[in-house]
A and B are shown apart, each in its own frame.
Chain A
């Protein structure tokens, strides 16, 4: 990860909060409403690369020069570099349509009302989730949270093992993600963001239809090694 040019004041804040200086700070706070108190939270995303490092793949030609990926068009000679294509929306007649004029609907044809960003107004934190409900979600991002506000009551609940859940949307959109407030095993409070999955209980009659899977592109006894790169 390239060295981020973090302004001095942000660097001081991250050191005070005990957050790694190589993590990305989300500037606008997420305000939670808990027990009648509004709590501004600072979020710092924690990624796998922050904990274990990361892998870059370098591609070299026969002369040892670096190569990059591009796309070859159907004519077999036009090479399209990254950024050389665009996605367009067309009407049934093939006319150009502006994205902002399009209307999102569900499969029944009902208009989908977009959700607002969670940063637009304080988010009520009162609903709790059990461990199974949390485990039924695919977690795609985790944020280490901190606050300069009065959040002792919320922290106490998290220390008891309570998991709070609320709809979370960073910039607004068609469907919010599920946000979970919980305390990690090392005592650090986190916001985990994920989406629900289609788990279902199956009986004898519902056997799986197994197909050939297409090949995709894409310890110790006491501790589990996650640094496998």
Chain B
């Protein structure tokens, strides 16, 4: 379970737990005798048996078909079908050689695919569990007004780690439940930056919801990176 540094409406902050709430589907695949099967990853072909390599050896793409009829140039009989365990991700250049030093750029494109900007790639750093807590912005939005404005694609359940944080979070959940609202949460000193939960992860806007049931609570951080609205109509090109 991850952590999150969060503040309440009185400016008190604490580092508490942030739990994923994905509901995994538990499926066991069995054979006809009811025995558990195993899934493995197999090695099929490497670069030296790829289309480009075959083309180079055959002397042209139109000659590959005859080569395939005459033999099995696309298969390495020593390795094809072997079980793959550990592999490493590498970058390769157009010659098929591993590259050890790369530069990455982000190309920002408009919805129509045209290029808007090009810049060196910046890896987003996590900002939900830093020394600066996620502030109580005070921007409360009624649930009935906001549920259909954004696409809530992810969530984390905020949970206490000891008795003090139980009171802290229960109070937040009760306050939010009574207001029937979601609270906009942001990161950074001003509390207006998008949330990044993992290094290199997506950026989200956070909306905090609170629910209580007796002396139990459920504090949910809804994550959204998209509004729920119609796509703009673009002029079709003839």
Q: Which residues of A contact B (CB under 8 A)?
A: 1-3, 6, 11, 14-15, 18-23, 44, 46-63, 65-74, 78-81, 83-92, 97, 101-107, 109, 112, 131-132, 134-135, 137-140, 142, 144, 161, 174-175, 182-186, 188, 190, 192, 195-204, 206-211, 213, 215-219, 224, 226, 228-229
Contact A55 B108 (CB under 8 A): yes
Which residues in chain B, 185-238, are within 8 Å of chain A measured between CB atoms?
192, 194, 198-201, 203, 205, 209, 211-213, 215-218, 220, 222, 224-237
Partner among A51, A85, A132, A206 whose Cβ is within 8 Å of the Cβ of B44:
A85
Complex: chain A residue closest to B17, CB-CB: A208
Partner of B90, one of A52, A79, A92: A79
- CB nearest neighbor in A for B226: A48
Starting from the known contacts A79-B47, A81-B45, 13 additional A-B residue pairs (CB-CB under 8 Å) come to: A53-B109, A57-B106, A71-B89, A80-B45, A80-B47, A85-B41, A138-B22, A144-B231, A183-B148, A184-B229, A196-B23, A210-B161, A213-B3
Task: Pick from B29, B34, B43, B93: contact of A85, CB below 8 A.
Answer: B43
Q: A48-B225, A210-B17 are in contact. Are A72 and B87 (CB under 8 A)?
A: yes
Cβ contact within 8 Å between B116 and A53: yes
**B230 and A203 contacting across the interface, CB-CB below 8 Å:** no
Are A89 and B27 closer than 8 Å at their CB atoms? Answer: no
User: Which of B84, B143, B212, B227 makes the CB contact (< 8 A) with A73?
Assistant: B84
CB within 8 Å for A67 and B102 given contacts A23-B231, A53-B110, A80-B87: yes
Minimum C-beta distance from B198 to chain A (A): 4
Q: In the complex the two chains form, is A74's CB within 8 Å of B23's CB?
A: no
Residues on B with C-beta less than 8 A from A44 are 231
How would residues 19 to 31 of chain B score, 1 for a CB under 8 Å from any chain A CB and 0 otherwise? 1011101111111
Q: Name the A residues within 8 Å of B71 (CB-CB).
A: none
A20 to B110, CA, bound (A): 14
| A131 to B27 alpha-carbon distance, docked (Å) | 30
| Contact across chains for B93 and A22 when beta carbons are under 8 A apart | no
B144: interface (CB < 8 Å):
yes
Q: How far is the CA of A25 from the CA of B167 in the complex (A)?
A: 50
Complex formed: what's the CA distance from A61 to B113 in Å? 25
Interface size class for chain B?
35 or more
B130 to A: closest C-beta gap in Å: 12
Within the assembled complex, what's the spacing in Å between the Cα atoms of A21 and B200? 32
Kindly identify which residue among A53, A186, A197 contacts B230, using a CB–CB cutoff of 8 Å. Answer: A186
In the docked arrangement, what's the CA distance between A102 and B30, Å?
A: 6
Contact of A84 with B43 in the complex, beta carbons under 8 Å: yes
6 contacts between A and B (CB under 8 A): A1-B111, A52-B226, A84-B44, A131-B147, A202-B216, A208-B16
CB distance from B111 to the nearest CB of A (A): 5
Q: How far is the CA of A210 from the CA of B161 in the complex (A)?
A: 7
> Contact: B166 with A139, CB < 8 Å?
no
Question: What separation, in Å, do the CA atoms of A104 and B37 have in the docked complex?
Answer: 11
* B1 & A208 in contact (Cβ 8 Å cutoff): yes
Query: Is A197 a contact partner of B29 (Cβ separation < 8 A)?
Result: no
B residues within 8 A CB of A86?
41-42, 44
Which of B42, B90, B201 interacts with A87 by CB under 8 Å? B42
A197–B38 alpha-carbon span in the complex (Å): 28
Chain B 92-115 near chain A by CB (<8 Å), digits 1 or 0 = 111010110111111111111100
Minimum Cβ distance to chain A for residue B185 (Å)? 11
- 10 closest Cβ contacts across the A-B interface? A208-B17, A216-B198, A201-B216, A20-B231, A208-B159, A197-B21, A50-B231, A213-B2, A67-B91, A71-B87
- Given A138-B155, A184-B229, A216-B198, CB of A204 within 8 Å of CB of B163: yes
Given contacts A57-B106, A73-B46, A90-B40, contact A18 B230 (CB under 8 A): yes
Give bound CA distance, A98 to B49, whole Å. Answer: 26
B105 & A58 in contact (Cβ 8 Å cutoff):
yes
Within 8 A of A (CB), among B48-77: 50
Q: Give the chain A neighbours of B220 by CB distance below 8 A.
A: 135, 199
A60 touching B105 in the complex, CB below 8 Å, given contacts A73-B43, A182-B148, A203-B216: yes
Q: Is residue B6 contacting chain A, with contact meaning CB distance below 8 A?
A: no
Instruction: Find A201's partner among B79, B213, B234 (CB 8 Å cutoff).
Output: B213
Which residues from chain B contact A3 at a C-beta distance below 8 Å?
Answer: 112-113, 237
